[in-house]
Amino acid sequence: MRLAALLLVVSFAFVTPARAAGSDDEERARAHYEIGLGYYRLGNYRAALKEFADGYQLARKPGFLLNLGQTYRKLGELREARDMYRQFLAEVHIDDPARPQAQKVLAELEEAISREQPPPAPPPAAPVVVAPPTPEPPPVVVAPANAPASATVHATAPRRAHTGLRIAGITVGLVGLGLVGGGIGTAVAADSAAKDLNAADQAGDFFDPSKDRAYTLDHALSIGFLVSGSALAAAGTILVIASAR
């Protein structure tokens, strides 16, 4: 299984650090958490990682370790993510409600890391010497005695080439427009999912992993559709213009 698919399957909700009244460090840690969560939603995982790490240095709340582990997983740094989950399980109370899910994610990380181990290199094979192929003589073309003039033979070639270019341009352009339409649709779906996630976060509801997966997938698809569709539409337009010359 590829890494991108793994991250979608085992996506784990952020845990909000507890807030203690009257503590400057707790207030600053909370600010780092909110900023890091915003960066995470935007896909800027490296910036989110720094904010969560700064918040943990201030408050030392185990919830930050889950945030760090999830962000490392999004970056594809599985060993660092594994270390964060191990540290969380070592620090958190045995009755913590997040502990079973953290253990499940840790097991999946261990399995993914074990699959990344490269297989042993095979022994070097003896070199095989292959003689270069003998070039064939060019074919000899003999025109028939009553063949028409060369100008007449090639007169229809440009028309066929132009027709082929026009058909190819129209086909490529239509495919590009279809991809652009798909990109717009997935972008609307991603925006809707992002609004739902932000609304749930502001309301203090429990994070829904399925909505986060839907947002991540729709966001990636919309970018891919829009970029590839725009490129194909532009290529189709160029082909149509070239066929008219």
134 domain residue, yes or no: no
How many angstroms separate the CA atoms of 207 and 12, rounded? 9
Q: Residue for token digits 């909505």?
A: 211
Distance of CA 151 to the CA centre of its chain: 55
Alpha carbon dihedral 132, 133, 138, 139, in 10-degree steps, equals: 180
Between 204 and 141, the more confident residue is 204
Does some domain include residue 17? yes
Q: Are residues 109 and 14 in the same domain?
A: yes
178-197 pLDDT, tens digit per residue, is: 887 888 888 888 788 778 77
Three-state DSSP class for residue 200: helix
Same-domain status, 206 and 110: no
Domain that holds residue 200: 157-243
| Residues 7 and 105 reside in one and the same domain | yes
On whether residue 147 sits in a domain, the answer given is no
Q: What is the pTM of this model?
A: 0.43
Mean pLDDT of the chain: 78
Tell me the pLDDT band of 44, cut-offs 50, 70 and 90. very high
